[in-house]
């Protein structure tokens, strides 16, 4: 049932912690599956430099990882997603996927001083590929650290290099607590009509166009959007490209997890609020 999301900057010990968790849960009689970002990179014949410096390659591999992790979820096993998982929106997508599958989830952040991580990279002896400095620094800048206040990052366990993992607490959170109930934004629903995609795109476009118009006009603070007058959205300091990117993410997610078309305006605004927070 549970999904464990490993996240951290380069060379912070993610795979080491993954293997420790695998050993613990196997000793507890659980079936454990590891979904490894680096193994997928190797399968695709990419290097770390060519992969992390190409957004199209990254998006492709992230899609494969999410699909594989979701497919492996069962009521009894443990799935560990070993990768950088540095994008907040991607972790949110994983949360929605586990919620739709009625599974529990936790996030483990392998915290480390950045210069110490670089030293670990430079002196690694496991035969793995090292990061070059440019790629390493770029990933540090792009890293969106998880926050326990975000429901998709919670429960969050922070582990420093000198720490021992609290296996029991992690196990209790994964197996002794009920998963969050699926809702309309995460359940897979049958298409209500052949015009669903047309209606989805039209509804989201109306809201997006209104937000972009307000941004161009220099509007600041909270605004209302068509069809969701009971919810407001704070657009202070938000750029148009950010809204466009989130628009694409929501459309992609909704095509895989089709919601009730009547709920789309509210769900879209909730999605924007969560990712613009």
pLDDT tens-digit series, residues 199-224: 888 889 999 999 999 999 888 888 98
Query: What pLDDT is attached to residue 191?
Result: 44
Domain boundaries, the chain: 3-175, 196-276
Q: Is residue 186 very low, low, confident or very high in pLDDT (cuts 50, 70, 90)?
A: very low
7: left (phi over 0), alpha (psi -120 to 50) or beta: beta
**CB atoms < 10 A from the CB of 178, how many?**
7
Is 70 exceeded by the pLDDT of residue 193? Answer: no
Of 43-52, 150-159, 165-174, 187-196, the one with minimum mean pLDDT is 187-196
Query: What pLDDT is attached to residue 225?
Result: 86
Overall average pLDDT of the 19-27 stretch: 97
Instruction: Tell me the average pLDDT of the chain.
Output: 88
Q: CA–CA separation, 268 vs 199, rounded Å?
A: 13
Q: CA–CA separation, 267 vs 14, rounded Å?
A: 33
- CATH class belonging to 3-175: alpha beta
**CB atoms < 10 A from the CB of 102, how many?**
16
């Amino acid at each position: 049932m549970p999904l464990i999301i490993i996240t951290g900057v380069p060379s912070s010990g993610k795979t080491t912690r993954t293997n420790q968790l695998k050993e613990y849960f196997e000793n507890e009689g659980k079936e454990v599956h590891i979904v490894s970002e680096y193994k997928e990179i190797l399968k695709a014949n990419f290097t770390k430099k060519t992969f992390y410096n190409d957004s199209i390659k990254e998006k492709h591999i992230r899609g494969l990882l999410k699909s594989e992790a979701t497919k492996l979820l069962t009521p009894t096993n443990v799935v560990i997603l070993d990768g950088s998982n540095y994008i907040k929106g991607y972790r949110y997508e994983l949360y929605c996927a586990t919620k739709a599958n009625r599974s529990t989830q936790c996030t483990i952040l392998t915290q480390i001083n950045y210069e110490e991580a670089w030293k670990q990279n430079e002196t690694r002896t496991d035969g793995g590929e090292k990061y070059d400095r440019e790629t390493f620094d770029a990933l540090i800048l792009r890293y969106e650290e998880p926050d326990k206040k975000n429901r998709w990052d919670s429960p969050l366990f922070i582990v420093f290099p000198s720490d021992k993992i609290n296996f029991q607490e992690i196990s209790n959170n994964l197996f002794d607590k009920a998963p969050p109930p699926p809702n309309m934004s995460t359940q897979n629903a049958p298409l209500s009509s052949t015009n669903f995609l047309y209606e989805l795109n039209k509804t989201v476009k109306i809201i997006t166009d209104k937000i972009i118009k307000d941004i161009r006009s220099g509007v600041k603070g909270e605004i209302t959007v068509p069809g969701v007058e009971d919810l407001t959205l704070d657009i202070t300091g938000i750029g148009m490209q950010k809204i466009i990117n989130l628009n694409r993410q929501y459309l992609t997610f909704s095509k895989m997890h089709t919601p009730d078309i009547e709920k789309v305006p509210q769900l879209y605004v909730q999605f924007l609020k969560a990712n613009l927070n």
